[in-house]
């Protein structure tokens, strides 16, 4: 249900369950977490893309078809592990939203550096009417992107956004026709695929609030291939 390829440190992960709208099971979430953890220790790691199979839905959220206790499932640590392992990757991470993003599927997309969507994609997170709480990390990441009021529009008012509105408020970063999806993803990855992994990691760290010592580690890693500095900024 999860396809993964790795070519010279460029990881591509596909949620491959189109008959179930790529809905996430515990096993799938654990596998995503494990894949991201393996990518993290790849010394050639440059890019990490996650997308869905099919042409209509990226991910419909949690799988509600197997009669398990959904209240327990939504509280499972595996949600946090899957998204946090992606967020922690010292490389360029992209969510290729080949279609609609719903519910817990937000966990994986919000953890990425950027989100590219098709014009037909819709965005909604209907937790309140179902009696669930959203993942805390999803709330924080969504708020950072769109602000608290618009995050509440999605999470508390239950609004379904179309792609153009999602782009306007900053929930996604670009709208691309499905026919041009692969080409667009390749173009977004191009600079990173030709760069040193430590240079990518260093630039990504610059988006954090760094101390003078941490900033120096970035320069040491990127400019001088300092092994100790590389370990500090990449975690490997």
Instruction: Indicate the average pLDDT of the chain.
Output: 96
Please tell me the predicted confidence (pLDDT) of residue 178: 94
Q: What is the mean pLDDT of residues 162-168?
A: 98
Please tell me the predicted confidence (pLDDT) of residue 73: 87
Residue 166 has pLDDT above 80, yes or no: yes
- Reported as a single tens digit per residue, the pLDDT across 57-77 is 999 999 977 766 878 888 899
Q: Across-strand partners of 47?
A: 10, 92
Q: What CATH code is assigned to 2-189?
A: 3.90.226.10
Please tell me the predicted confidence (pLDDT) of residue 91: 98
Residues 82/32, Cβ–Cβ less than 8 Å: yes
Q: What is the mean pLDDT of residues 23-32?
A: 96
Residues 197/234, Cβ–Cβ less than 8 Å: yes
Residue ranges per structural domain of the chain: 2-189, 196-234
Residues 151/142, Cβ–Cβ less than 8 Å: yes
Q: What is the mean pLDDT of residues 123-141?
A: 94
Residue 46 has pLDDT above 90, yes or no: yes
- Reported as a single tens digit per residue, the pLDDT across 202-222 is 999 999 999 999 999 999 999
Q: Across-strand partners of 117?
A: 97, 175
Confidence of residue 130 (pLDDT cuts 50, 70, 90): confident
Q: Which two tokens stand for residue 164?
A: 């153009």
Of the chain, the percentage scoring pLDDT greater than 70 comes to: 99
Helices (H), the chain: 26-40, 70-74, 77-87, 106-110, 136-146, 148-155, 163-169, 181-193, 197-205, 212-224, 227-234
Please tell me the predicted confidence (pLDDT) of residue 65: 77
Cα–Cα dist 154/142, whole Å: 10
């Amino acid at each position: 249900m999860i396809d993964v390829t790795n070519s010279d440190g460029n990881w591509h992960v596909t949620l491959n369950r189109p008959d179930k709208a790529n809905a996430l099971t515990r096993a799938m979430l654990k596998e995503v977490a494990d894949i991201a953890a393996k990518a993290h220790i790849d010394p050639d790691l440059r890019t990490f893309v996650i997308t869905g199979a099919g042409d209509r839905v990226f991910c419909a959220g949690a799988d509600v078809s197997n009669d398990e206790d959904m209240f327990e499932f939504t509280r499972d640590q595996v949600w946090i592990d899957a998204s946090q392992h992606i967020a922690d990757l010292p490389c360029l991470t992209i969510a290729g939203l080949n279609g609609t993003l719903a519910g817990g599927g937000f966990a994986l997309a919000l953890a990425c550096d950027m989100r590219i969507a098709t014009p037909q994609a819709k965005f909604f997170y209907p937790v309140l009417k179902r009696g669930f709480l959203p993942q805390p990390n999803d709330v924080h990441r969504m708020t950072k992107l769109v602000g608290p009021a618009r995050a509440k529009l999605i999470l508390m008012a239950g609004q379904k956004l179309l792609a153009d509105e999602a782009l306007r408020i900053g929930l996604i970063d670009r709208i691309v026709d499905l026919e041009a999806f692969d080409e667009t993803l390749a173009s977004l990855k191009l600079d990173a695929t030709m760069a040193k992994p430590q240079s990518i990691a260093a630039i990504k760290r610059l988006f954090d609030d760094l101390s003078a010592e941490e900033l120096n580690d970035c320069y040491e890693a990127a400019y001088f291939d300092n092994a100790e500095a590389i370990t500090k900024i990449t975690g490997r």
